[in-house]
């Protein structure tokens, strides 16, 4: 698994991405505030989408170009949606520079070769392949040949699609691949997540695995991190009441801060594989059970259940030595409450 580039960015921490998507509402000041909010909320990166409507679809109202899914987008043509959601290309440099000044990365999902060239000119640290572009191997190959890490979302992918995308990157000489477990429903119901797949993805694909979260609570991201996700992506909005195309299933800045804090706490709780006791555990060990004299004894008496018991604290012989001492004789007197030790016995 090639993850050195990710380790160089954040060490062994989870890399948290704030997805702007269309929530800028075609307002540059809103976009600026979103970058600032992402940084303030603890995101490692802010992500945009770089396209023109005609690079994704065509301006047609034929039925196959109209959304019919019962969502807030129902009845809209694809072209009208993307016209509303696109971020002007001339904003990119300013917003990327703003992110850099705030100490976070900025990158984007390109949707055609021209977008790749724009993002390359801005020296993005990596690229994102959106879920619906996972079948476009020409685009994936073009991105992979930049030599930058490639993050691939799998929201509409079947298993062969994922393999094909990974192999396309590898054949282009790029081993720096992240595959995000993702479900492209907005918002996603917990019953549709199947997060156990993350563990299987790690074993099956041999690349860095992450999670693109379209739920409305931190729970799924926490579980994903516990299962090994190294990257978490979440949509950000300044407010769900703003009416952006993606605002309804996005987190506001306070919720994003809570998400990041929950992820960081989960990382601490996961720790590392160890059987050593922490300092607090070593302190508590003094209250484990051990063998004590619980009745005054004199030399010659036999150790029995009447004069020796396993009790707290842990000052006498370990309780598991019971079978070794039962029936032995005391060679010294010992009073009630004396920790049992070998020098008291024959």
Is the separation of the CB atoms in 53 and 22 below 8 Å? no
Question: Which pair of tokens denotes residue 27?
Answer: 């307002």
* Tens-digit pLDDT profile for residues 169-220: 999 999 999 999 999 888 999 999 999 999 999 999 999 999 999 999 999 9
Topology classification of domain 279-344: Type Iii Antifreeze Protein Isoform Hplc 12 (3.90.1210)
Instruction: Please tell me the predicted confidence (pLDDT) of residue 67.
Output: 87
The Cα–Cα gap between 181 and 173 comes to 23
- Say if CB 23 and CB 246 are below 8 A apart: yes
* Domain 4-51+86-270 identical in fold to domain 279-344: no
Structure tokens at 305: 């259940």
Whether cis (ω within 30° of 0) applies to the bond prior to 195 is no
CA geometry: angle 234, 81, 27, nearest 5 deg:
65
Compute the distance between CA of residue 14 and CA of residue 273 in angstroms, rounded to an integer: 17
Distance of alpha carbon 218 from alpha carbon 292, whole angstroms? 49
Q: Which residues of the chain have pLDDT under 50?
A: none
- Cα(72)–Cα(7) distance, integer angstroms: 39
Residues 345, 338: Cα–Cα separation, whole Å = 13
pLDDT of residue 246: 83
Domain layout of the chain by residue ranges: 4-51+86-270, 279-344
Q: What local confidence, expressed as pLDDT, does residue 197 receive?
A: 97
Selected from 3.40.50.970, 3.20.20.70, 3.30.9.10, 3.30.2290.10, the CATH number assigned to the domain covering 4-51+86-270 reads: 3.20.20.70
pLDDT at 206: 94
Beta carbons of 179 and 152 less than 8 angstroms apart: yes
Summarize pLDDT for 81-124 with one digit per residue, the tens. 889 889 999 999 999 999 999 999 999 999 999 999 999 999 99
Q: CA 123 → CA 67, 100, 116, 152, 272, distances in Å? A: 35, 12, 10, 19, 35
């Amino acid at each position: 698994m090639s993850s050195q580039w990710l380790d160089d960015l954040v060490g062994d921490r989870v890399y948290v991405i704030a997805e702007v998507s269309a929530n800028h509402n075609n307002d540059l000041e809103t976009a600026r505030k979103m970058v600032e909010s992402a940084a303030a909320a603890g995101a490692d990166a802010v992500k945009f989408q770089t396209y023109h409507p005609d690079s994704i679809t065509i301006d047609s109202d034929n039925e196959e170009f109209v959304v019919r899914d019962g969502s807030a987008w129902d009845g809209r043509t694809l072209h009208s949606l993307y016209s509303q959601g696109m971020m002007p290309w001339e904003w990119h440099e300013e917003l990327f520079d703003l992110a850099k000044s705030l100490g976070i990365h900025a990158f984007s999902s390109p949707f055609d070769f021209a977008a790749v060239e724009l993002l390359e000119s801005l020296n993005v640290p990596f690229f994102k392949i959106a879920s619906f572009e996972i079948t476009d191997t020409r685009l994936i190959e073009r991105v992979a040949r930049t030599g930058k890490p490639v993050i691939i979302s799998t929201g509409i992918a079947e298993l062969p699609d994922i393999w094909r995308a990974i192999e396309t990157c590898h054949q282009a000489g790029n081993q720096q691949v992240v595959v995000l477990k993702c479900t492209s429903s907005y918002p996603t119901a917990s019953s549709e997540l199947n997060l156990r797949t993350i563990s299987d993805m790690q074993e099956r694909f041999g690349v860095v695995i992450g999670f693109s979260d379209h739920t409305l609570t931190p729970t799924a991201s926490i579980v994903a991190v516990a299962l090994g996700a190294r990257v978490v992506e979440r949509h950000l909005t300044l407010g769900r009441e703003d009416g952006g195309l993606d605002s309804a299933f996005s987190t506001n800045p306070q919720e994003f801060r809570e998400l990041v804090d929950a992820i960081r706490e989960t990382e601490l709780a996961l720790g590392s594989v160890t059987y050593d006791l922490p300092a607090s555990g070593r302190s508590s060990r003094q209250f484990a059970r051990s063998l004590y004299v619980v009745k005054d004894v004199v030399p010659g008496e036999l150790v029995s259940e009447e004069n020796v018991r396993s009790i707290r604290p842990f000052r006498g012989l370990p309780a598991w030595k019971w079978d070794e001492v039962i029936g032995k004789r005391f060679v010294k007197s010992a009073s009630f409450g004396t920790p049992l030790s070998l020098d008291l016995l024959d």
